[in-house]
Structure 1
Amino acid sequence: MEQFSWDAGVIALAATPIGNLADATPRLLSAFEQADLIASEDTRRTGLLRERLGIVRRAPLVSCHEHNEADKAEQIISCAADGQRVLLVTDAGMPTVSDPGYVIVQAAIKRGISLTVLPGPSAPLLALALSGLPTDRFCFEGFLPRKSAALRQRLEQLAGEERTMIFLESPRRLAASLSALAQIFGAERPAAVCRELTKIHEEVWRGSIGELKDKAPGVRGEIVVVVAGASPRAPLEEAEAVKVVLDRVEKGQRLKDAAKAVAVQSGHSAKVLYNRILAERK
């Protein structure tokens, strides 16, 4: 097996285990040994990971997280420009995927700094594979908004999405997010909740959104939610779209929100649908 090595002045993005240490690849171990500088989301966790993996050579660690990445970018890029081998890692999984790294990558590209990648674990893809939902077309939506109004707005925008959707979620917010999904996507939409992937207590719940939301209270661990895409629909006539809006309103949704959601799905103007219903109510 060929040992990993990279040229001086190159930044390597490396995926780290998301739970099981055995998922650390030989290339990752070699990269830790060879790096001149390691840009890390949490230097304490990366230091512990090196210890647990038995890494002997200890390159300097520099903190690079969501709150300081823009400030640290120049320092990290300058080190690479000076010929150092820079390893970029996060606490778990692949850098830049709902984790720090994007700003560094963009800065490196602008400066002409070469990049390479060391593949490895990624929670969204593992959850997709385990979900039992279609994998031929999918999209990754990251973390859903915390505030209820923003959450509803995001889900209304996605209600007509036909690709399988992947979300990350906090266990504390899982019940609220699944309840919103059930209301906006429909309680019968197939979904899966994957928790603690690659860890001892790995678990996957499969079923309808309505079934899954009833299991959510009290859940713990790292969560990935996978939701089936919407079924393709024939284009709605304006009158049909109005009926769908009214149906949503009868179920408790605000008229303005319902009109916006149906507009996304049907292609009709939300303003036209809204005004037509107001006119019919007079």
Structure 2
Amino acid sequence: MDLQLTGTTALITGAASGIGRATAHALAAEGVRVALLDRDAVALAETARGCDDAVVRVVDVTDETQVALAVSTSVEELGGVDAVVCCAGISGPVGSTIEQISLHDWNAVFAVNVTGAFLVLAQVLPALRASPSASVVLLASDSAFVSSPGMAPYCASKAALVQLGRSLSVDLAGTDVRVNTVAPSIVDTPMSRGDLGEHAFVSPAFEVQTPEDVASHVLYLVSPRSRAINGTTILSDFGYSARSGFPA
């Protein structure tokens, strides 16, 4: 399928690794010129090597001043922006109950996962409105809908991100800007391996996606081919959340 993306532009946060890197490479392969944002300069440079003529900005998405500068200069260098993909995220404390989690750690998760997306979108929306067919994709998680023990901050932040996307799609109704989210289950990324341990991926007792699997969903939502899809979430969890716990 021709995704009709050749010659368009996109800005991607969290582009240094994992889903962000896979998305950047997939978009570049479709002829999209990309702006890559992340706080890891070394890994970001590695991502850029797989993208033609990429714009690279080292930025902390929780810092409003840094975000404003990175977005404005990226849009200027790209000559406009047609899509924004917010992949920047952290898991925060894993395996801790609410009473064991500090306010600092709780706030840190929301700062990256939710406020970071807010800051980027607030800065880039004027440029998106100027595009004839603009799309925003937020990377959430199936943890927005189901939960594992000891992951309250992460789950709450991803649920907030889903609702942020839905709310923004309503605010932008009648414009040419669409907003959707992708909510994958476990993806084989450095963050997941850090949380679960390398051993968990040797002979996993659960279904595992690749970053490239998730990037394919993002590409469809960014493409004009999905022009009727707005304000919704693609839940890619191998059907897990649809299953009943009834022992029959």
Q: TM-score range by the shorter chain?
A: 0.3 to 0.5
Higher relative contact order (CA 8 A, sep 6+): 2
Structure having the higher Rg: 1
TM-score (norm 1): 0.34
